[in-house]
Amino acid sequence: MEIRYLGHASFQIKMGGKTLVFDPFISGNPLVKDIDVKSVKADYVLLSHGHQDHVLDAEEIAKNNEATLISNYEVATWYQEKGCTIYPVNHGGKVELDFGTIKYVNAVHSSVLPDGTYGGNPGGFVLWNDSGCFYFAGDTALTWDMKLIPMTCPKLDFAILPIGDNFTMGYEDAIIACDFIECNKIIGCHYDTFPYIEMDKEAAKKAFEAAGKELILPAIGETINV
């Protein structure tokens, strides 16, 4: 799968002939230098929860591309009121769309929309089709619920996990999460964007390596194939 890192927890992933944008926070990210939100293509915009650092550019990208916005019921309907096309889901639910199947899974975090509206319960997504399966965790702590993923979804080829600590799990807990989700190829995100989540990237990579796991940290704007 072709994966482009847009900074923080934002990714653009090509899957089943469609372009999926996850948690777009580009225009407000001090580390993003040369990605113009207007140029970001999407057929779907997926939002893990309502926090500003995950939804800031969602409306613009969804409207520019006439993309379908997928999130929990509360976040999705908030965007529907702004005129976006939505597909609401909630925890434990899976649905087959034209690019593959998605399942909305638990996250241990909080969720409120930028104007203070209740943002439902936060989640992550597991997505699969014939070409592979991956987990986009969103913002979450390490949680036993991650063990449900290998019990209820196809084998993961890779997972996108937050590793920046403070607001989510740090890389030490992400290493434990690998065992829970039965996947040793991790793309790390949600680090360095703000002083609270600055992280020693070399230490994180070494810790993963010592545990026999792989931590991939793409540069902002970089496209990788996993």
Q: Minimum Å distance from CB 71 to Ni ion?
A: 13
Q: Pick out residues in 98-157 that bind Ni ion (CB under 5 A).
A: 139
- Residue 88 forms beta bridges with which residues? 71
Per-residue tokens: 152: 């209820």
Closer CB to Ni ion, 100 or 188, in the complex: 188
Q: Residue 139, interface with Mn ion (CB under 5 A)?
A: yes
Binding mask 40-79 for Ni ion (x = CB under 5 A): -----------x----------------------------
Give me the helix-helix angle, 171-181 and 201-210, nearest 10°. Answer: 40
* Binding residues among 40-79 for Mn ion as defined by CB under 5 A: 53
CB of 8 to Mn ion, least distance (A): 7
Minimum gap (Å) between residue 129 Cβ and Mn ion: 27
Alpha-carbon distance 168 to 32, whole Å?
21
Sheet with 11-15, edge to edge strand ranges: 85-89, 68-72, 44-46, 18-22, 11-15, 2-5, 223-225
Alpha-carbon span 7 to 218, nearest angstrom: 9
Query: Which residues of the chain form contacts with Ni ion (CB under 5 A)?
Result: 51, 139
Query: Which residues of the chain form contacts with Mn ion (CB under 5 A)?
Result: 53, 139
